[in-house]
Structure 1
């Protein structure tokens, strides 16, 4: 579930291993590029953390962030982990 913290939509995802986490990040990168909206994220071993906000809107949460979050959720639901 996404949580809004400090004007950012935040969520963490945990995978079985680094490879699965990296595959997910690669899929998110494709979606983010197609939406021209690039997330802040971090990855440590099997965990991927996101903080979504729109820089052009003063680093606040906008519809662009909600749209990307929904796309990330869809990738998560359909992952082959």
Structure 2
């Protein structure tokens, strides 16, 4: 009985994590904002606020941002690889 309960909790937690990860950013933001309005423990406030403020579509710190830096110059002693199609 206990083994089934533990397995059920693990499957449920995994399903919630998968849905959260695959959910669009706009839906996650709305869901998180609604969760912040409900009474919740103080230790959950920081992660919920971070979820609302996330920048990138994939949750990273800016892989989709345009870089204003100049492209890196090739280092001396290294040659570029050129691939020729047949």
Q: TM-score, normalised by structure 2?
A: 0.27
Larger Rg: 2
Determine which structure has greater relative contact order: mean sequence separation of CA pairs < 8 Å that are 6+ residues apart, divided by chain length.
1
Instruction: Please state which structure has a larger fraction of its residues in strand.
Output: 1
Q: TM-score, normalised by structure 1?
A: 0.28
Instruction: Please state which structure has a larger fraction of its residues in helix.
Output: 2
